Chains A and B, each alone.
Chain A
């Protein structure tokens, strides 16, 4: 049983989606996260155990990404393998058998259309057991406020790639904090630093998707 679960985690880490997937080369022709998850559930392994293995697999690939040992394409393959698992686990979430860790509202701030970094964070966070509410790109403060209002226990993540949209990010952080002072807000994106995040009044700064997971998992800001 342990071996089966560990294999799923390895498939996540390596981005092995299914048997026909040509990636990675050294796993050609082997079952991927898709088949292994189905087999695991059929053999009585719990959805929680599978999810835990996925979280560990995502953490390992996220850590490698943080150390520049792998890059965005590998992370996207891992996320794809994770999605294959989630398609099998979805019914367990819907019935409440498996609970998510909480809700994470994410969006790219107003004035910025870049979504790849934001999507990566969303995928990795989701792969670590959080329910993600993705507001998209060019998101104005009012839309974030509506989302927090609808999801009162959520955490919020703001993304920006353009240096000049950091001003909008700062306004959004202030807007959220003034109306929902206990809602944790984390910021990320190429032009940001911890110092800038502190000046904005954000609760956290994550230079990598795994950094965002670490922030959420330790319940920061709550």
Chain B
């Protein structure tokens, strides 16, 4: 099934996607839990089965993005200007977005139901199932964001443009506090996602960030080697299979 895109304002789009659009990969869930392929205990494998049954019922996947002009500020600033606002992204993100002409500020969420279920289990009598549900939700929201990113790539391709990797405040040494700036450029409650005072998203199983768009940009397979944070969640998730153990 293809995604459905609706324009919600100038260069602002909401994308609806069905759970069937998203591949919640069982192997990815097992790997994220720490197990090597085929080595997960049967009991926990059963819990993954139970979670995979719940995911389509409890996920209300929404995504969206807004396209804004992007440029580099003068001087020594480690950041980029998106829609006339200066984002202090730090050098890693700035370098990757440097050749972009547009920035796609995006949000993608599973909605609140999965995390409510997982939290209830964690606090009740089934913490292992709750944890597995939480991990499965994290893997699913990343898969949904992958799908949203692929959709943005298709849309930009039709305009003769390419995209970069996606970057989120809180990672790649980009302060999570800049979430407030990012959300200030999106419609209120965009895709049903709001921010806390501490710049954390609700629902928790949401991803936000920026994707560079332009004729000269390119998407890299793996960029985590540019960052010194060895134990980052993304570093582990994005590592090539052979490097996962070390990450």
A190 touches B200 (CB 8 A): no
What's the nearest-Cβ distance from chain B to residue A108, in Å? 11
Which chain A residues border B199 with CB–CB below 8 Å?
Answer: 111
The residue in B47, B229, B231 that gathers the most chain A C-beta atoms within 10 A of its C-beta is B231
The residue in A68, A76, A77, A138 that gathers the most chain B C-beta atoms within 10 A of its C-beta is A76
Interface of A is mostly: loop
Tell me the complex Cα distance, A192–B228, Å.
12
Given contacts A111-B200, A116-B122, A191-B229, contact A73 B170 (CB under 8 A): no
B127 touches A80 (CB 8 A): yes
0/1 string, B155-183, CB within 8 A of A gives 1 = 00000000000000111011111000000
The residue in A119, A161, A162, A190 that gathers the most chain B C-beta atoms within 10 A of its C-beta is A162
What's the nearest-Cβ distance from chain A to residue B24, in Å? 18
Restricting to B5-38, which residues have a CB under 8 Å from any CB of A?
A: 33-35
B173 touches A163 (CB 8 A): yes
The residue in B128, B131, B170 that gathers the most chain A C-beta atoms within 10 A of its C-beta is B128
Q: Is B95 an interface position by the 8 A CB rule? A: no
Given contacts A25-B43, A164-B176, A191-B232, contact A77 B170 (CB under 8 A): no
0/1 string, B171-211, CB within 8 A of A gives 1 = 10111110000000000000000001011100010000000
B233 touches A22 (CB 8 A): no
A73 touches B131 (CB 8 A): yes
Which chain B residues border A74 with CB–CB below 8 Å?
Answer: 41
B196 touches A163 (CB 8 A): no
User: Whose C-beta in chain A lies nearest to the C-beta of B127?
Assistant: A76
Q: Is A113 an interface position by the 8 A CB rule? A: yes
Tell me the complex Cα distance, A79–B125, Å.
11
A190 touches B47 (CB 8 A): no
Which chain B residues border A193 with CB–CB below 8 Å?
Answer: 230
Tell me the complex Cα distance, A163–B175, Å.
9
Given contacts A71-B33, A77-B128, contact A111 B43 (CB under 8 A): no
Restricting to A94-141, which residues have a CB under 8 Å from any CB of B?
A: 110-113, 116, 119, 138
The residue in A25, A73, A116 that gathers the most chain B C-beta atoms within 10 A of its C-beta is A73
Q: Which residues of B contact A (CB under 8 A)?
A: 33-35, 41-44, 47, 122, 125, 127-128, 131-132, 134, 169-171, 173-177, 196, 198-200, 204, 229-233
A-B complex: 3 closest residue pairs judged by Cβ atoms: A71-B34, A111-B198, A164-B176
Q: Which residues of A contact B (CB under 8 A)?
A: 22-25, 68, 71-74, 76-77, 79-80, 110-113, 116, 119, 138, 161-165, 190-193
Q: A72-B33, A164-B177, A165-B176 are in contact. List 19 more A-B contacts (CB 8 A).
A: A22-B43, A24-B41, A25-B42, A73-B33, A80-B127, A110-B198, A111-B177, A111-B198, A111-B199, A113-B196, A116-B122, A116-B131, A116-B134, A138-B200, A163-B229, A164-B174, A190-B232, A191-B231, A193-B230
